[in-house]
Chain A
Amino acid sequence: MYTIISKIELEGTDNLSYSDYGTTTDPEIVNQINEDFDSTFGVFLGENRTKIELGIVSVSTFFESTPFVYEARTEVDNIDGLNLINVTELNQL
């Protein structure tokens, strides 16, 4: 299986947009990306999910200091035609 590395950015003021950045088959890269996600945006979502749903907090507040985050939680068995870069080192992100 290949793991798709998604780039997550703010769309408008209150929504997220996902784009495919690259692929990897390295589980250490997958783990590191997801640990980084969980310790940053994941924490923000955990603390503010209900407030975001109620419109009390805007997700844009997170992206004021961080333009985008990566996540690696999509697995596929075929990447033909996707034209994504093969990420073999974290510094490619």
Chain B
Amino acid sequence: MGVAIKGNVVNANPTPGNSFYQFTHNQNTGADGLIVIQLTMSNARTYTGCTYGGVSMTQLYTINRSGLAQRMAFFYLENPPTGNNTLRINFNGSQWNPISIHSRSFTGSGGIGNNANTGGSATPNTQPINFSADSFVMATACSINAISTIQIPQGSNRTFASHNTNRQVGTGAISVGTGAVAGSYDVRTTATFGNLTNDRVEILGLSAPVDDTGGDFFLLM
């Protein structure tokens, strides 16, 4: 097993003022690449898809957090084109509220593993996630009030980008590797007061290589 390698990051908090928003993201060179994007914006619009380098990304989730009037989403693409490419987010109409964007590259990744989403709950919002060996866990949170901490696992503060979408968003928090053993731990998000969300996604490392040290083999010429 091997943990994925963290790559380039983009954090952005613009007001699109259009039916799409796009920016350049540099995908690192290396085998088994992965690019992910965490999004939060007003639920006045919906996400109609994301592309990277013109290739459609896979939607892991999109959630309408009606209590916060926000729509939160996660898209990813395995084996994306490398180098500088356009990451484009499409909406079902012009979005005139600010959007929170976090995109991150990986190499040496086995893709997306478990994910879990928890809506607004009183701070601290502490929720579990199961993970495989050699994974990362990413988390994001949204609240009316400022996001104070994102802990992955509980007790381990991780850095995050603070964005304002007319709500407060903490995005881009990621753990250190989970270690060589699969298991479960709690992800804790906190705000200055009140309710906040807790969304978490597992980034897989690579699976164990096929054992070719035993058995009979034929060499085909």
In the bound complex, how far is the Cα of B26 from the Cα of A6, in angstroms? 17
> Is A78's CB under 8 angstroms from B8's CB?
yes
Question: Do residues B15 and A45 form an inter-chain contact, with CB atoms below 8 A?
Answer: yes
Assess the A49–B96 pair: CB atoms within 8 A: yes
Contact status A16-B17, CB under 8 Å: yes
Which partner residue on chain B sits nearest A50 by CB separation?
A: B96
Which A residues touch B8, using CB under 8 A?
A: 76-78
Query: Which of A11, A71, A74, A82 lies in contact with B84, CB distance below 8 A?
Result: A82
B106 to chain A, nearest CB (A): 14
Kindly state whether residue B176 has any CB partner on chain A within 8 Å.
no
Contact residues in B for A4 (Cβ distance below 8 Å) = 12, 23
In the complex, are the beta carbons of B161 and A75 less than 8 A apart? yes
Which residue of chain A has its CB nearest to the CB of B105?
A: A78
Chain B contact residues: helix, strand, loop or mixed: strand
With A49-B96, A82-B24 as known contacts, state yes or no: A74 contacts B17, CB within 8 Å.
no
**A20/B94 contact (C-beta < 8 A), A11-B18, A45-B15, A59-B17 known:** no
Please report the C-alpha to C-alpha distance between residue A16 and residue B96 in the assembled complex, in whole angstroms. Answer: 10
Distance between Cα atoms of A71 and B11 in the complex (Å): 14
In the bound assembly, the distance between CA atoms of A71 and B9 in angstroms comes to: 19
Contact A71 B94 (CB under 8 A): no
B12 contacts A15, C-beta separation under 8 Å: no
| CB-contacts of A1-35 with B (<8 A) | 4, 6, 8, 11, 14-18, 20
* Contact string against B for A residues 54-84, beta-carbon threshold 8 Å, 1 for contact and 0 otherwise: 0000010000000000010111111011100
| A interface footprint on B18-51 (CB within 8 Å = 1, 0 otherwise) | 1101111110000000000000000010000000
Residues of A within 8 A of B (CB): 4, 6, 8, 11, 14-18, 20, 45, 49, 52-53, 59, 71, 73-78, 80-82
* 20 pairs from A and B in contact (CB 8 Å cutoff): A4-B23, A8-B17, A15-B17, A20-B24, A45-B96, A49-B96, A52-B96, A53-B44, A73-B13, A74-B11, A74-B14, A75-B9, A75-B12, A76-B8, A76-B9, A76-B25, A78-B26, A81-B26, A81-B83, A81-B84
